[in-house]
Amino acid sequence: MNYGPLLFLAAFFALAGSWFGFVLTPQAQIGQLQQTNILGAPTLYPQARPGLARQGLEVYRANGCADCHSQQVRQSATVCDVLLSAAGTNPPAVLSALFKVKPGLSEPDARQCLSSLPQRLLEGLKPEEADTAVKVLNVAGAKAVVAIVPVGPDIARGWGKRRSVARDFIFDYPVALGSQRIGPDLANISMRQPDAGWHLRHLYAPRLEVKGSAMPPYRFLFEMRKIERCPSPDAMVLPRDAGPPPGYEIVPKPEAIALVAYLLSLRADAPLFEAPLTFAPGAGAAGGTNAPAAAELTPTNAPAASDATPTNAPAK
């Protein structure tokens, strides 16, 4: 140990450097984030979660939901699409503009395209290419706009419409980002599944709602009790083989209701400056991108959810 002071200094600088890089710099960078306006609308984002949902975050922590579910949508790139919404009054000029921006388009296809507007004319362009195409089309009298489209595997799964950014989480403490995906990402779960009754049945018996689900049932968030004079309005509507014995009912405890309120508050798809996107009018943006996950989540042997909706709904 004839280099004691040197070793001390080396250890000190290694620890100080990582503290500087992992604690101080991020704090200076994103520690002061505030609410901001959604792109193109005077709406503030994000909104603080309602009180019940905030209690639900504690239940989410206590039950280790974040061990299997992440809350971060990744995005690998952003592309620009060109949407054609009106053909204008000069068909020959628009046709020649179409051939110019989309070489290789046959004439019947072009006429077909003009007769079924609005159309997603070009996909996956760079911003400057899209701007040029839109300019060519608009000069010809047609009405075309650029749509900003985030892409990536998570977005293709329907887990979100754009990447998660730090601003999405400013009202959460702690931030339940999660690091494993044994279950699906929950950053936008209320966009995919806005039905509170579905969430309650899924917590009580996951395989009722998702066939082959690996999620354990969280039955301790529910209470089985004898029906007294009349059944509780909160009682779960379950298929007969999963339900309680006759004369009994299953009622969600306050924890379950808070957890579902939290899940229903999870939605981060507002367009922001740091995560821009366009909701394409008429192009089925919401339905289209959401399809894979929706198919996966379709209740297979579930009771008729629509009949049961009013009973299990906590205050939204």
Alpha-carbon distance 236 to 215, whole Å? 19
Our CA dihedral for 258, 263, 265, 270, rounded to 10 degrees, sits at: 170
With respect to other proteins, which residue has the nearer C-beta, 118 or 183?
118
Residue closer to other proteins by CB (options 139, 304) is: 139
DSSP strands (E only) in the chain: 36-37, 44-45, 77-86, 119-125, 143-151, 222-226, 248-252
Q: Which of 4, 5, 42, 216 binds other proteins (CB under 8 A)?
A: 42
76 binds other proteins (CB under 8 A): yes
The reply on whether position 163 binds other proteins by CB under 8 A is yes
R_g (Cα) of the chain, nearest Å: 26
Shortest Å distance, C-beta 284 to other proteins: 16
How far apart are the two ends of the chain, measured CA to CA in Å?
65
Closest separation between CB of residue 150 and other proteins, Å? Answer: 9
Q: How far is the CB of 34 from other proteins (least distance, A)?
A: 11
Of 134, 170, 235, 258, the residue at the interface with other proteins (CB under 8 A) is 134
Establish if 34 lies at the interface with other proteins (CB under 8 A). no
**CA 132 – CA 279 distance, rounded (Å):** 21
When asked if residue 120 is in the footprint of other proteins (CB under 8 A), the reply is no
- DSSP tag of 300: S
3-state DSSP of 39-77? CCCCCEECCCCCHHHHHHHHHHHHCCHHHCCCCCCCCCE
45/313 with CB nearer other proteins: 45
Residues that bind other proteins (CB under 8 A): 2-3, 25, 29-30, 33, 39-43, 75-78, 80, 127-128, 131, 134, 138, 143, 145-146, 148, 163, 165-166, 271, 273-278, 281
